[in-house]
Structure formats: C-alpha cells, structure tokens
Amino acid sequence: MTFIQKLSKYGVAAAFWIALITLSIITVVSYTAHNQAYDNWRWVEHTQQVSLEIEELTSLYLSAKVTWRNFISAGKNIDLEAYESAVNAIPLKITSLQTLVSDHPQQQQRIKTLSNLLDGDIAVIGATVSLKAGGRFVDPSAPFAPDLNWQKIKHLADIIQNEEKELLTRRSLELKQSTARLVLIIITGNVAGLGILTLAFYFLQREVGQRKIAQDALTASEHHFRLLAESEQAANKELESFSYSVSHDLRSPLRAINGFARILHEDYADKLDDEGRRLLKVIRDNSNRMGILIDDLLEFSRLGRKPLAAVNVDMTALVQGVNDEFQNECHGRSVQVIIHPLLPAYGDPSLIRQIWVNLLSNALKFTSHIDSAFIEIGMQEGNGTIIYYVKDNGAGFDMRYYDKLFGIFHRLHRDNEFPGTGVGLAIVQRVILRHHGKVWAEGKPNQGATFFFELPQGSKDERA
C-alpha cells in the first residue's frame, strides 16, 4: 500500500476530526474574544463613569464652597439649601466611586485621600457656617480661606481621572493586540480547517472515483466473464452436437458397410471361395474396428467436457469393484491381483473410475500371454497428494517410445499382439490432467510396466 493509499484510507476520517477540532477551537476562541471585547466596552463605560462621578464630586464641592463663600460675605439672608444638598451628596458620590474602583487599590487609596480632603474642608466650612449662623463674626479671609484644599482636591481628581484614562488606553492596547492575535488564529484556523476539509474532500472524491473505476472494471470483467462463459457454453454445446453428428453420421454408413457385408456373408457365403470369404471378413473386422474407434473417440471427447463433480473417493472400494467386474474376462487365466489398502482421493468418482478401468484392463491385456500374471495396486503418500500405481509383469514397453505412450491413437504394440485403439491411456492422462494431477510410467520390454498417477488427497473420515 503506498503512502497516498494509506493517507486516503485513514486520512479522510482523520482530516474530518482535525477539521472538527480546529473549528471547535475557533468557536471557543471567538467566544472568548467576544467576551473580552464586551469587557473592554464596559471598561470604557467604567472609565467614563468614574470621570463623570469625579466631575460631579468636584462640582458639588465647588457649589458647596461658592454657597459658603457667599454666605460668609453676604450674611444670613443667603439660602444654604444648595450648600446643604451638596454636603449631603458628597459622601454618596464617594461611596459610588469606591465601588467603581474596587478592583484598583491605588485608585481606592486616592479616593480615600480625596474623601479625607473633602471631609476636612466640609468640617471647616460647617464650623464657620455654625459660627456665622450663631451671629458671630467670621472673617472671610481667615486662614482656611480662600481656597481651603481646592488645589489639592483638583489635583487628586485629575490624577484619578488620568489614571482611569491611562488604564483605558492600556486595556485598549492589550485588547487590540489580543484581537489581532485572535484574528490571526481565526484566519489561520479557518484556512487550515478549510484546507483539511478540501484535502479530505479531494481524497473522498478520489476514493469515490477509484471505487467507480473499480466498480466499472468489475462490471466490465463480469460482463466479459459472462460472455466468456456463454461462449464456452455455446462452444461446448456446438462440440456436443458435433460429437453427436460424428457419432451418427459416421456410423450410419458404417452400419451399412457392416450390415451389407453381413448380408453378403449370410446370403452368398457358399458362392464365395475361401479368399472371397477372407476379404469379406476383413471388411467386417475393419468396420467393427472403426465402430470401436468412433466410440472411444466420443468417450475421449465426452470425458474432456464433462464437468468435474469432485468429492472424496474411497479408492479401495472403487478398485475392488472394478477388479470384480474384470473377473469374468480373466476366466481360464492365472491372474493374481493384489490390492493394497488405498487412501481416498479427491476427485470425480466416475472419471477416476475410468482411470482404474483403463489401467487395470491394460494390465490384464498386456499380461494375457503370461502364464502366471501378477498385478499389484498400491499407493504412496505425497505432499497433500496420493501417488497410486498399477504394476504388472506383462509385455512392458520400450522407454525410448515413452513420449508416444499417452498420445491418442498411439500404440506401442501391434494390433495382432494386443488389440486396442490407443485411446485408453490418452483418456487416463486427460482425466488426471483435469484433476490437476500427474501421470507417468516405467517399463521394460517383456518385464512389465508400472503406471503411476498422482491425485489430490481426500479426507479420511468423510467418504463419498
């Protein structure tokens, strides 16, 4: 698997998670930023409020002082109401300011100092008002005059206001920086998220595309195989009908040759001399032989086409059965057949039976001239296979002609020695090759032959 393939396999899911996490982080950061901006807005408001309160405080103080001054210089007829309301309002303003700057100890200290200064002035003013109200003389240019603590109060109020302004500036700067950072994070995050999503989309698209291609290829190959199967089926059917035609159209004239030769023999045998009758026999023998050849050829072609129905085959029982069938043919002969226990093979029972029939009938045929024929059937275990063998002490064969042994219509013996069509071993080879097995032989002229064949091993417990 290439890196790209791995990436596209695991990458898509991973990319979605990464994108999801990135976008979640951005959401959290944006929310935080929003809160910060809100705080900042409140800070501006706060600073404005502090300034306002300070302004009001100073103006209350000034109004109290002006009223007091007028009272001192003008005397009793001056109304003290404005003075009294200012004196009453000042502590409230102080309390309000203290609350506003509760998070800033330095400012709190300053406000406390301011409050003390104001209290001091108000105490002086209050004492002089009481004296004046009692009809006593108060010198307007007394030591506490003319400005009392005004300069100090003014200075302190300015300091408090400046401090607030400075705080605002600092917070604004901080906010500006954090906002810039935030914008960078949001942009980067979004770009990254979008990039990852795009990549994931690309891989997804690619995978979908590849799947589509694979699907198309699969469909195409299915179609191809269906066509192939159909054409094979058609070819098989054609071959079947061809074999059928061969069998009948070839045999119909053969029937005529054989039949008429027979009629000639039946009706005119007495009119022919010995040579005439011999010639007639040659015609009949050859037409019979051709009949057998056609049968064998058809059998060979049928075995090649028959579908394999593979099961476990009990070889011992199969061989015993085949051997029993041959018993009649061995009548009057001294034949000893030894069948060793055989492990099961895996294959088509009817086809494998044909192997045994052909090999055993060959062994019997090629030992027919031997006084005491000996045939041995056994096996050797291979690697997942079984090698079976049929050994005889018959005519054997010359290894020089080995390559012709399994060829169709090839014979290593003359027909007058051992009759046959040369199809039997070709059928054996064909059946074994169809089972993906192997067949081979060893032999020496007049010293017997051994035929070996290898088939897949069958299961021991499961019998066919």
CA distances from 158 to 19, 148, 152 (A): 53, 17, 10
Query: Out of 262, 277, 410, 434, which residue is the one contacting other proteins (CB under 8 A)?
Result: 262
User: Which are the contacts of 304, defined by CB distance < 8 A and separation ≥ 6?
Assistant: 430, 434
Interface residues for other proteins in 349-368 (CB under 8 A)? none
Segment near other proteins (CB under 8 A); pick from 87-95, 193-201, 260-268, 382-390: 260-268
The reply to whether 281 sits near other proteins by the rule CB under 8 A is no
The reply to whether 263 sits near other proteins by the rule CB under 8 A is yes
* Pick 261 or 345: Cβ nearer other proteins: 261
Q: How far is the CB of 404 from other proteins (least distance, A)?
A: 30
* Pick 227 or 292: Cβ nearer other proteins: 292
The reply to whether 256 sits near other proteins by the rule CB under 8 A is yes
Q: How far is the CB of 292 from other proteins (least distance, A)?
A: 11
Q: Check if the beta carbon of residue 326 is closer than 8 Å to that of residue 292.
A: no
DSSP 173-225: HHHHHHHHHHHHHHHHHHHHHHHHHHHHHHHHHHHHHHHHHHHHHHHHHHHHH
Which of 130, 93, 127, 94 is closest to 112 using CA atoms? 94
The reply to whether 237 sits near other proteins by the rule CB under 8 A is no
Query: Out of 91, 146, 209, 253, which residue is the one contacting other proteins (CB under 8 A)?
Result: 253
The reply to whether 248 sits near other proteins by the rule CB under 8 A is yes
Q: How many CB atoms lie under 10 A from the CB of residue 428?
A: 23
Q: Check if the beta carbon of residue 81 is closer than 8 Å to that of residue 130.
A: no
Give the 3-state secondary structure of residue 295.
helix
Segment near other proteins (CB under 8 A); pick from 18-26, 249-257, 271-279, 306-314: 249-257
Token reading at 352: 């494998």
* Pick 28 or 256: Cβ nearer other proteins: 256
Query: Out of 69, 171, 251, 410, which residue is the one contacting other proteins (CB under 8 A)?
Result: 251
Q: Is the peptide bond before 146 cis (omega within 30 degrees of 0)?
A: yes
The reply to whether 277 sits near other proteins by the rule CB under 8 A is no
Query: Out of 10, 31, 225, 260, which residue is the one contacting other proteins (CB under 8 A)?
Result: 260
Please tell me the distance from the alpha carbon of residue 425 to that of residue 433, in angstroms, as a whole number: 12
Segment near other proteins (CB under 8 A); pick from 33-41, 250-258, 341-349, 352-360: 250-258
Binding site for other proteins (CB under 8 A): 244, 247-249, 251-256, 258-260, 262-263, 291
